[in-house]
């Protein structure tokens, strides 16, 4: 029964994908519409489906999508695909979202991101927005034979495992590991081992750790800072602060960009739905 349900959902996702231009290097679905959430009131069937489409040429893709799905876009559609792509690439986390779209009888939201920008985020964690999403369970619907993209996806997961391990205590359970970021475990929490792992972290995270630890006027290089962090008993907390410095600004910028890309009306409706979902979750915890 579970296998049949999985196969059925895959067919449904591919059918939704057929409503969009085909030139996708990667397409995946995520969230409560794909994976059943914990709780008796979880309604997977009626939950909004979330998609991300990765495209090599955003201008060409948006141009075709505007012809097929003009009503998906906010007022920015009148400015054309080049302006849409400029907003997508240069503001927030490099993603252009169209939310609250009815497609094949399901409510969906889809984000569009440039392949090159995604690869940079996967490798360097520039903002950890889509790279962070790809560290969690997602359902891959389509992927082409882009070797650089596939390699970056693997590197992102390896970086996530390394980072999770650095933030875990000496002793931890399997559940602890999956809570931090699912992946393989490593042994030896020695300063030497931690320094080796810190040196393999994505460039942006290393820079943020350096910023957290570097006192004004000191101007130490990143390697010197990471060596100090490796010997610090609070190494995990420093890594956590570095992650927060990446994620918080990109999330805020992406949310602000949503007002323009989705339009004010959709933004208010979408925000209301998110608040309602959070309220229901809070009620379940307190009841």
Instruction: Tell me if 267 is assigned to some domain.
Output: no
Q: Which DSSP category does 104 fall into?
A: T
Strand partners for 140: 28
Instruction: Tell me if 201 is assigned to some domain.
Output: no
Per-residue pLDDT tens listing for the chain (287 residues): 444 444 556 788 999 999 999 999 999 998 878 876 655 445 566 677 989 999 999 999 999 999 999 999 988 899 999 999 998 998 778 899 888 889 988 989 899 999 999 999 999 998 888 998 898 889 999 999 999 999 999 999 999 888 888 888 878 786 787 777 643 223 375 566 677 778 778 889 888 888 888 766 566 788 888 888 887 777 888 888 888 888 766 655 555 555 556 565 555 555 555 555 655 554 554 45
Strand partners for 53: 27, 112
Instruction: Tell me if 234 is assigned to some domain.
Output: no
Residues, the chain: 287
Rg over CA atoms, the chain: 21
Q: State residue 91's pLDDT score.
A: 78
Could you give the C-alpha distances from 257 to 61, 95, 107, 238, 253, in angstroms and in order? Answer: 20, 9, 21, 29, 6
What backbone torsions phi and psi does residue 215 show, to the nearest 5 degrees?
-70, 155
- Domain containing 141 equals 2-145
Q: CATH code at 115? A: 3.30.460
What backbone torsions phi and psi does residue 37 show, to the nearest 5 degrees?
-90, 160
Helix (H, G, I), strand (E, B) or coil at 186: coil
Cα(205)–Cα(42) distance, rounded to whole angstroms? 35
152: which residues sit within 8 A by CB, 6+ positions away? 118, 119, 122, 123
pTM of full prediction above 0.75: no
Q: State residue 80's pLDDT score.
A: 95
Residue 41 Cα to chain centre, angstroms:
26
Total domains, the chain? 1
């Amino acid at each position: 029964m579970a296998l049949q349900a999985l196969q059925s959902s895959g067919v449904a996702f591919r059918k939704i994908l057929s409503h969009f231009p085909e030139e996708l290097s990667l397409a995946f679905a995520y969230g409560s519409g794909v994976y059943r959430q914990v709780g008796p009131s979880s309604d997977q069937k009626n939950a909004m489906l979330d998609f991300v489409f990765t495209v090599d040429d955003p201008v060409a893709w948006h141009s075709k999508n505007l012809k097929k799905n003009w009503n998906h876009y906010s007022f920015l559609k009148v400015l054309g695909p080049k302006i849409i792509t400029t907003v997508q690439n240069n503001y927030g986390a490099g993603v252009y979202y169209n939310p609250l779209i009815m497609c094949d009888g399901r409510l969906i939201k889809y984000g569009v991101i440039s392949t090159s920008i995604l690869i940079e985020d996967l490798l360097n964690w520039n903002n950890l927005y889509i790279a962070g999403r790809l560290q969690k369970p997602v359902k891959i619907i389509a992927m082409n034979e882009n070797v650089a993209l596939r390699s970056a996806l693997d590197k992102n997961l390896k970086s996530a495992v390394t980072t999770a391990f650095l933030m875990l205590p000496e002793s931890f359970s399997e559940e602890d590991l999956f809570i931090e970021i699912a992946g393989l475990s490593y042994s030896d929490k020695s300063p030497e081992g931690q320094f080796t792992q810190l040196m393999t972290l994505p460039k942006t995270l290393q820079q943020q750790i350096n910023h957290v630890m570097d006192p004004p006027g000191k101007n130490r290089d990143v390697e010197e800072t990471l060596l100090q962090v490796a010997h610090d008993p609070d190494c995990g907390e420093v890594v956590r602060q570095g992650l927060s410095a990446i994620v918080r600004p990109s999330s805020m910028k992406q949310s602000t960009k949503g007002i323009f890309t989705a339009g004010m009306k959709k933004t208010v409706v979408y925000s209301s739905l998110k608040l309602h979902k959070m309220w229901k979750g809070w009620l379940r915890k307190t009841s």
